Amino acid sequence: MSGADATDGERPGTAFRGRLAEEIREGDAGLIALVVLGIYGLFTVFAILGPSEGVGGVVAALQGVTFWAALYAMLVLALNLHWGYTGLFNIGVAGFMAVGVYTFAALTAPTGGSPPGLGLPLWVGVVGGMAMAAVAGAVVSLPALRLRADYLAIVTVAFSEIVRLSFLSTTMQEFTLFATLDFEIGGVEILPDLALGTGAGRGINMPINPTIPVKALFYTNPGNPASGGRTVFGEAVLSAFATIGVRETVVVSLAYTFVLIGFVALFYWLLRRIGNSPFGRVLKAIREDELVANSLGKDTRRFKVTVFMVGCALMGLGGILWETQRGFTDPTSTTFRPIQTFYIFIALIIGGAGSNTGSVIGGALFAALLFQGPLYVSRIFSKFIATGDAPGTFGGAVAPIASLNLSPFLAYTLQNISTLRFVLVGVVLIVLMHRRPTGLLGHRKEVASSIDLSKRGDRTGSNPPRTAADGGGRDD
């Protein structure tokens, strides 16, 4: 049997497994897996050396770093659609996340709550949050996309702060929608009064949130596990993990983390499809030279508005999965501050703009090495080194170094490690800009055609006819 016949007779399942194995071995999936395994090895060591020892400490550490890596990977992928694919300098990511989260909260919060909501199902809140974030993206993009580079960045960051401060305003703490509009048909009110609110500085509760379906696997009353019992599945799984020292809350959080990993895969697949489509090739043309793309008959303004809406919808979904899992949110949360957009951009820069694989790797490396890593290192030093009381000022910590006394400086560093992470992020950014300005995987070679011509199979046998100058085949 010839090679071609063997290939034609190959079962679909076998072919799929072969392609999957090749992708893991030689493709981007293998690269992501290698980075993740390296991060897991490092945090396993952190957990063993840290205060929480044993299997339970290792599982908790790996769950925590995976949780943050998945969240950042989702948002970096969404930003990559704007900046990496199209060259749109959007630094208002936190604002679009806030729009998605507060729309979700308004739709799903109970009608009798304080502030009240509409009491709608979870899926309605998720879809509504994404839709409203997309609408907000359209509203911002229509006037702003006439601007370029720094000017677009100023508009988007201004929008982000307008959103945050509006949600913080007491004017929007509780309000009635459509109160001044009275439209009736046949005595039936078309636009009923709707009591809503943001809660202002008090925030808003969300008893229905994305963790509820996950908790329903383990508890008979997922909204309040303490008031109910465990399901059969929950009893078996939680008891099994308890025997090896893993806490119940860690197991439930681990299950939700798997959901986030699924969304990362979904985001990755969607952006890969977009990037390989004719629509995606126009986006890349706009990124490289919008004037040329326009001269070829492409309505670049329509393409930019569309991609801006899609990216903002993904940012809204990422915000919902991030912030609402706590069951509560308020405008003072760091999730909605400009610094969060800065973090997401740093992760994109680390991985490399324009690369979906780089976005996932950048999000994972940022979450592990710059966000969570310093905290674990601080705990390990505090466990093994007695540094004493930390000085109250930086000057008081640095002055003893002249007399070769490093304890005050070390104590000050460990006590203020959360703040000093900003210094570490700044150093990493400077080094990247100097050594690797395109990021780890930025500006990789891309196939311009919809089909990779270098991977075409031999459809005419071992001796295909040579191509003549006029495009026809030659037999000699």
At a CB cut-off of 8 Å and minimum separation 6, what does 279 contact? Answer: 303, 306
Q: What is the pLDDT of residue 423?
A: 84
Q: What is the pLDDT of residue 69?
A: 97
Q: Please indicate, yes or no, if residue 205 is contained in any of the structural domains.
A: yes
Q: Where does the pLDDT of residue 356 fall: very low under 50, low under 70, confident under 90, or very high at 90 and above? A: very high
Q: What is the pLDDT of residue 390?
A: 77
What is the average per-residue pLDDT within 159-187? 78
- Cα 473 from Cα 337, distance rounded (Å): 63
Listed ranges 259-273, 389-403, 443-457; the one with the highest mean pLDDT: 259-273
Alpha helices (runs of H) in 243-355, residue ranges in sequence order: 248-276, 278-295, 300-323, 338-351
Q: What is the mean pLDDT of the chain?
A: 84
Angle at 314 between CA 310 and CA 320, to 5 degrees: 145
Residue 152 has pLDDT above 60, yes or no: yes
Q: Where does the pLDDT of residue 192 fall: very low under 50, low under 70, confident under 90, or very high at 90 and above? A: low
Identify the weakest region by mean pLDDT among 69-83, 328-342, 449-463: 449-463
Residue 57 has pLDDT above 60, yes or no: yes
- Cα 455 from Cα 331, distance rounded (Å): 51
Residue 182 has pLDDT above 70, yes or no: no
With left for phi above 0 and alpha for psi between -120 and 50, is residue 352 left, alpha or beta? left
DSSP string, 394-458: HHHHHGGGGGT--HHHHHHHHHTHHHHHHHHHHHHHHHHHHH-TT-SSTT-----SSS-GGG---
Q: What is the pLDDT of residue 23?
A: 56
Q: Where does the pLDDT of residue 190 fall: very low under 50, low under 70, confident under 90, or very high at 90 and above? A: low
Q: Please indicate, yes or no, if residue 66 is contained in any of the structural domains.
A: yes
At a CB cut-off of 8 Å and minimum separation 6, what does 260 contact? Answer: 67, 70, 71, 74, 321
% residues pLDDT > 90 (the chain): 47
Residue 14 has pLDDT above 90, yes or no: no
Q: How many domains does the chain have?
A: 1
Tokens of 386: 């007695």
The predicted-structure confidence for 281-318, as pLDDT tens digits, reads as follows: 999 998 888 889 989 889 888 999 999 999 999 999 99
Please choose, from the candidates 50, 68, 30, the residue with its C-alpha nearest in 3D space to the C-alpha of residue 369. Answer: 68
Provide the whole-model pTM: 0.85
What is the average per-residue pLDDT within 124-138? 96
Q: Which residue has the tokens 């915000």?
A: 319
Tokens of 315: 């940012």
CATH number at residue 116: 1.10.3470
At a CB cut-off of 8 Å and minimum separation 6, what does 85 contact? Answer: 271, 274, 275, 280, 283, 284, 287, 307, 354
Q: Please indicate, yes or no, if residue 449 is contained in any of the structural domains.
A: no
Tokens of 398: 């640095």
Q: What is the pLDDT of residue 232?
A: 94
Please name the helix (run of DSSP H) or strand (run of DSSP E) that holds residue 71, with its range, or none. helix 54-79
Residue 460 has pLDDT above 70, yes or no: no
Q: Which residue range is the domain that position 258 belongs to?
A: 28-384
Please choose, from the candidates 453, 355, 401, 429, the residue with its C-alpha nearest in 3D space to the C-alpha of residue 27. Answer: 355
- Cα 282 from Cα 399, distance rounded (Å): 58
The predicted-structure confidence for 368-385, as pLDDT tens digits, reads as follows: 999 999 888 888 887 887
Residue 164 has pLDDT above 50, yes or no: yes
Do 41 and 374 contact (CB within 8 A), yes or no? Answer: no
Partner residues linked to 219 by β-bridges = 230
Q: Please indicate, yes or no, if residue 408 is contained in any of the structural domains.
A: no
Q: Please indicate, yes or no, if residue 164 is contained in any of the structural domains.
A: yes
Do 211 and 325 contact (CB within 8 A), yes or no? Answer: yes
Furthest-apart CA atoms within the chain: distance in Å: 88
At a CB cut-off of 8 Å and minimum separation 6, what does 317 contact? Answer: 74, 100, 126, 129, 130, 133, 263
Q: Please indicate, yes or no, if residue 73 is contained in any of the structural domains.
A: yes
What is the average per-residue pLDDT within 424-445? 81
Q: Please indicate, yes or no, if residue 56 is contained in any of the structural domains.
A: yes
Please choose, from the candidates 207, 202, 272, the residue with its C-alpha nearest in 3D space to the C-alpha of residue 27. Answer: 272
- Cα 80 from Cα 93, distance rounded (Å): 11
Residue 130 has pLDDT above 70, yes or no: yes
Q: What is the pLDDT of residue 397?
A: 80
Length of the chain: 476
Q: What is the pLDDT of residue 471?
A: 41
